[in-house]
Structure 1
């Protein structure tokens, strides 16, 4: 017996819309599940995007850590990194100058800054080389030169700067006299402290550059300050008297030396002039002698005329008198006058 199986689906292709309807009827929460899945995808994309970039400020330097290990260093601007915590970015302010205060603290910075010194005596009290107690206040300005060393080579950079600064300043003050620290050598002490502090910070690999060290105020403690001021005034008066004496010495000694040198120079010049003149006269006499030996009459007459010319030149006014005149001034002869008058009257 021949048997032919009936066609599948009643001889018609299945309708996709009917299939979807049947699926939705069997799974009524399919639409909600799809929306939740899309929300999860969007949140995951946003999370990945937000952790894939970072921004470094204009005064900052960025360091990127990959799985906790240093990877690279970047400058200011927008940068990208691996998301989901694979890379971590840390920023360090390398373009800003920081300040640490010792012996005081600023309470209200501004045009008229206010400071407080209470409670900081342990930082400021120091013993000088001449066994005087001083109250030293200073500041240290620094900036981070190497952010990698600043983050990974030391545990607490600020504490290291404070400890090393205090150690350096105590060492310098302990090797100096009190008057040098207070007035005479404040600038030199600050420069010396900056150099020593920079050397120690480089030794400990802190990555810090010391910009400046300045002594703000150096005074003896309050209980002994009046006596210290009196001693300081006496020292200043002593220094003033020594300076005045040194000034008088510097004014008188060079003047005396110059006067002595002038007298010696004039004497040497006079001696040289006399010697040269005597030498010239001797040579002139030799020449005249030679001329006299050659022509005695002519030479005698020439010498006579030269002598008379010099004598007349030096005499000034010259009077030429007659040999018969017996007096220089003529006398008034009264007798001759009376005789002449008698003759007229006759």
Structure 2
């Protein structure tokens, strides 16, 4: 018959083995490259552990470990993918724009866990808080935007504003989450007729903008041509001005020379001017200087007689100068 002492000994050894087994099993853990961990000492969280590898800690129940992924997660707002099919939630996506139009808007939020302790203990459901904050942020930004911006070229700006507002809200809630990115998926009107009417309006606006751009292009082209013609006219005018000034200076110089000659020999200069004037007025005529002393009329041909015969022009009087 087994003695009581032996029974106690077996029970004691069993307890020791169990304790040693628990210590051996719960005194180490591993952290993968895509994971992060936080050590809980009697339920109190310590600093996060992000370095991968084999780690050691005090055995349970003194210390426990919570391992969380540090990859990016996706929050689908307004729709959900189930078994390869997309299920839409219009109640979430229906919202009013700043110019009192109804649109359906859904988006994807990329987020990650940056503070494991806050993620585990500051809220019961951090992802639900993120969902609610996303809804509030999107409705706030859409509610202050025009429908044209939401449906066309303003999507990038709306995404940036939603991300900034959502980041601010998540930081205030302190749930250990960081926003990586926000991407609008679909922003559309609630029914087909409204979508068709808005598409027609958008097409008309694009046509208007195209015509305006073409008109501005034509205007700029003509303006440049006019500027070129203006510059050319100014250049020609400046050239004509300079030429006229030089001609006037030459005329003044010639006049001064003639005036000096006139002062020295008035009669000769007068006759010379008469002859030159006749030569300018009648460039093809033969000019003869004649001296009539009352007897035989004599004349002296200035140009050679063998030149082309022209109608003679006669100058009477004078003292028979040889010029």
2:53 counterpart residue number:
77
Match of 2:222 among 241, 252, 267: 252
Change over 3 Å in CA distance of 1:266–1:138 after alignment to 2 = farther
Change over 3 Å in CA distance of 1:49–1:230 after alignment to 2 = same
2:274 counterpart residue number:
none
Aligned equivalents of 2:143, 2:220: Cα separation in 1: 36
Match of 1:172 among 141, 145, 163: 141
Change over 3 Å in CA distance of 1:267–1:42 after alignment to 2 = same
Greater helix proportion? 1
1:10 counterpart residue number:
none
User: Does residue 57 of structure 1 match 2:32?
Assistant: yes
1:263 counterpart residue number:
233
User: Does residue 208 of structure 1 match 2:177?
Assistant: yes
Q: Is the 8 A contact 1:104 1:115 kept in 2?
A: no
Aligned equivalents of 1:281, 1:154: Cα separation in 2: 101
Moved more, 219-228 or 82-91: 219-228
5 Å matches for 1:268-307? 268-272=238-242, 274-275=244-245, 277=246, 281=250, 285=253
User: Does residue 93 of structure 1 match 2:62?
Assistant: no
Q: Is the 8 A contact 1:65 1:72 kept in 2?
A: no
Aligned equivalents of 1:252, 1:271: Cα separation in 2: 28
The alpha carbon displacement at 1:47 in A equals 1.2
1:219 counterpart residue number:
188
Change over 3 Å in CA distance of 1:324–1:98 after alignment to 2 = closer
Deviation per residue, 1:267-286 (Å, 9 max, x gap): 335434654x359758x949
Larger Rg, first or second structure (1 or 2): 1
1:46 counterpart residue number:
21
Aligned equivalents of 1:324, 1:190: Cα separation in 2: 101
SS at 1:184 equivalent: coil
Change over 3 Å in CA distance of 1:57–1:269 after alignment to 2 = farther
Aligned equivalents of 1:152, 1:278: Cα separation in 2: 100
> Which sections of structure 1, spanning at least 5 residues, go unmatched?
1-25, 109-113, 297-322, 330-346
Aligned equivalents of 1:33, 1:249: Cα separation in 2: 107
State the TM-score, normalized to the length of structure 2: 0.70
The alpha carbon displacement at 1:37 in A equals 4.4
Deviation per residue, 1:221-263 (Å, 9 max, x gap): 1243233333333333333333332332233233323332332
The alpha carbon displacement at 1:325 in A equals 6.1
1:236 counterpart residue number:
206
Aligned equivalents of 1:272, 1:209: Cα separation in 2: 76
1:196 counterpart residue number:
165
State the TM-score, normalized to the length of structure 1: 0.66
Aligned equivalents of 1:222, 1:40: Cα separation in 2: 71
Q: Is the 8 A contact 2:93 2:104 kept in 1?
A: yes
Greater strand proportion? 2
How many pairs align?
A: 265
The alpha carbon displacement at 1:69 in A equals 1.3
The alpha carbon displacement at 1:32 in A equals 6.8
Change over 3 Å in CA distance of 1:145–1:263 after alignment to 2 = farther
1:8 counterpart residue number:
none
